[in-house]
Amino acid sequence: MPNRPWDNIGAPTAAEQRLDELLGQGRAWGRRPDGPVVPLDVHADMFDPDREIRGEYLTRKLVESPDEQGWRAFWRRGGQQPVVRIEDAVITGRLDLRAAELPYLLEFVRCRFDMRPDLRQATLAGLVLWNCRFPGLNGRNLRTSHDTVLRNCTSVGGIVDLADAQLGGSLLLNDSELRNPGGRAIYADRLEIAGAMLGLRLKVAGEVRIPGVKIGGNLNFSGGALRNRGRTAINANGIQIGGSFRGDVDPISGSPFSVAGLLYLPSAHIEGDVRLRDAVLEPGVSPPKRGESQHDDPISTLLLDRGEVRGDVQLDQGFRSGGTIRLVSSKIGGDLRMAGAQIDLGWSRSPSASVEKPMRAIHLDGTEILGNLEAAGAMLHGQMRMVDVNVHGSFQLTRASLSGPRTDTLQANRIQVGSNFDCREADIYGTLQLQGANIGANVDLRSAQLLKPAWHRHRNSYKSSLDLRAANIGRDLVCAEGIRPFRAEGEVQLRRAVIGRAANFWGCLLGDGSSTNAFNAFGLVAQELTLLPSEPPLGRVVLRQAQCELLADNANTWDAAGGVDVEDFTYYNLTHPIEPTDGGRVRERLAWLRSTSGRYQPGPYDQLATVFRDSGNEEHAVTVLIEKQRRRYQALAGASPVLLRPPVRLWSMLQRSTVAYGYRPLRALLWLLAFAVGGSAWFSFHELQPINEEDHPVWNPFLYTVDQLVPIINLGHDVMWRADGHSQWITVVLIAVGWILATTVAAGITRALRREER
């Protein structure tokens, strides 16, 4: 074949003659039986000329038939595939095995290649490079039937190109160092590996490009260090892994997996786990991209959008990241574990700029997690964005620290959690946004501290610390005291929320005065509402249109700085019922209602009276309704013209003192009896003169008094006697009292009949 690479290469050198002799004897090159073995230092600047072999000469020896070379059978190991082993050689020129078909395994140990080996379209039984140095490797469309090993090798200034290669065994890159800063260190688009791809303790300066790769086993970079700061460290778009993606601590050296750059794995399909326990991810700073969307995360360290992981995603224990962990619209078949993780984006943007545009520590929009989301003890500086996420198990944030002051530190609108949402003893700097959340069991915020709520830049006001508007909680909402009080500096927003059992706010601290409302439960529906703050809320408490079966409250609730709005608040019983003889607690509750707000609201009095009446305490119900009428007339007097205010107040006083606004009509009989006795006594000592003495009327002071007091009944005595002097004024008083008592009694009877009808 003319124009072959080895044509016209001249006579063989001494080293090449010795290679020919050793291979002719079936022995490996590099072993000298006549002297001690001196391993080659592949990184040295000077070499023994006896170690130099021309690449063109070696190409001829490997490609041409062994029979043509006069070699004996290749060196074999225990009946395995034939092996050609080259040790401690410096290969000058180019080793060109392009499109060669070699039925044996090539093994190079401690060899240095001055030029990039060319293995394009080659078909080999196997390839082993051990402790070698080379300026890259061209293995595009390479085919091997066994393992491909580049172990403890060094590639400087070139690319290891395995694009479209098909490797029958595994690809081993353990302990190797691939350096091509600013470029691609590995270029392996559409690579197919029947076994695993192992890069334990692998060090890379440059990009590892493996999009569309199919790996039958694990992709393991445990203990590795990948450096491409501000760029993509691993480009694995659309990768398919039959096992797990592992970036654990190396069991031998104890070194964690570390990355400076982006782990880019969109649309990845991983049958096993993503294990990045104790990994350290650094993003670096990259220039902004043209047309970058506000929903992008420019400082990401892990991007797994639209991916599918059949097992767990483990970002826990000592996991640390200086950039965003992004898994948008992905599916995780197991758990997302982030317990003890540290993600800090505080370095990337000033606090004031973060308020305008928060940086995201985690971005999980639209992701489905079939197991649990475990982030207990996690420390996140940046936003945790989880809009429309579906967690089939529980969501754990116990003892976590979420720091995003004046921002929505947890943005989880419309999140669905199949079991519990636990955020006990957590420190939250910012707002928990859980609007429209659907929680299957409990929301537990016991002993949590919710500080520095988000700033609403359009309204120039603070947002809520806890926003559960329109949320649906299957069991309990617990915001109670544990090892420390539950505290929310901003508003606790429960507007239109539905809670299956209890909303527990025992021993809590609500508000700091910066927001109008400290507690907003407008339209809340719950079986039991426990609102027992340890101090008066610093803001208004809104219970308008809320509904609950049982209510537990205390004086601090009603001493809220902004008052309490309880219009249309419906509850059916008190957690601690009031005994029929306990008038002190009734008066206490009435005092609470008087302090609700500056305006009169009849609904709270009717509701409290209904609770007493339904429990059989009719007398307490009457006491409440009397107080309601007293407040009503106060409101009427306040809204009336100045000249009409005294008559309204006088009429209220008369009704209250006589028949208690009609709720105690028997008082009228007592007043009638008192005035009857008083009038009879007066007229017993001041007998009146008859108008017509010829009729000879008989004087009866009692009948005369009754005739004046009762306007409906006429006994005839009022027209038979003439009153003069003081008796005349006494008569006028009796007539006036009679009409007043009659009117109030009639009003009381009418009100009583209306109550009976209801």
pLDDT band of residue 388 (cuts 50, 70, 90) is very high
Measured CA to CA, the distance from residue 332 to residue 230 in angstroms comes to 28
Name the packing angle between helices 666-685 and 726-757 (round to 10°): 170
Both tokens assigned to 372: 């649990």
Both tokens assigned to 394: 């529980």
287 pLDDT above the threshold of 80: no
735-740 mean pLDDT: 78
pLDDT in tens, 87-122: 888 999 999 999 999 888 899 999 999 999 999 999
| Cβ pair 721, 688 in contact under 8 A | yes
pLDDT in tens, 319-370: 999 999 999 999 999 999 999 999 999 888 888 888 888 899 999 999 999 9
One-letter amino acid for residue 37 of the chain:
V
One-letter amino acid for residue 228 of the chain:
N
Asked which of 285-299, 378-392, 697-711 is least confident by mean pLDDT, the reply is 285-299
**For the CA atoms of 390, 393, 399, 401, what is the dihedral angle to 10 degrees?**
-20
| Cβ pair 393, 418 in contact under 8 A | yes
DSSP string, 489-543: SSEEE-TT-EESSEEEEET-EE--SSSSEEEE-TT-EEEEEEEE-SS--SSEEE-
Q: What is the pLDDT of residue 757?
A: 47
75 pLDDT above the threshold of 60: no
DSSP string, 253-304: T-PPPEEEEEEE-TT-EESS-EE-TT-EEE----PPPTT--TT--SSEEEE-
533-538 mean pLDDT: 96
pLDDT in tens, 260-283: 999 999 999 999 999 999 999 998
Q: 478: burial class by Cβ within 10 Å (0-12, 13-18, 19+)?
A: buried
7 pLDDT above the threshold of 60: no
Phi, psi (degrees; rounded to nearest 5) at 607? -65, -45
548 pLDDT above the threshold of 90: yes
18 pLDDT above the threshold of 90: no
pLDDT in tens, 136-185: 999 999 999 999 999 999 999 999 999 999 999 999 999 999 999 999 99
One-letter amino acid for residue 709 of the chain:
L
Distance of CA 6 to the CA centre of its chain: 66
Q: What is the pLDDT of residue 564?
A: 92
**Partner residues linked to 133 by β-bridges:** 112, 154
Which of residues 127 and 23 earns the better pLDDT score? 127
pLDDT band of residue 453 (cuts 50, 70, 90) is very high
Mean of pLDDT over the chain: 87
pLDDT in tens, 304-329: 999 999 999 999 999 999 999 999 99
Closest CA to 440 of 464, 470, 472: 472
Q: For tokens 């559409």, what's the residue?
A: 190
DSSP letter (8 states) at residue 621: H
pLDDT band of residue 640 (cuts 50, 70, 90) is confident
In a 3-state reduction of DSSP, which class is residue 433?
strand
Per the document, the length of the chain is: 758
Q: What is the pLDDT of residue 2?
A: 46
484-488 mean pLDDT: 97
Q: What is the percentage of the chain residues whose pLDDT exceeds 70?
A: 86
Measured CA to CA, the distance from residue 120 to residue 138 in angstroms comes to 6
DSSP letter (8 states) at residue 440: S
Both tokens assigned to 208: 């590892």
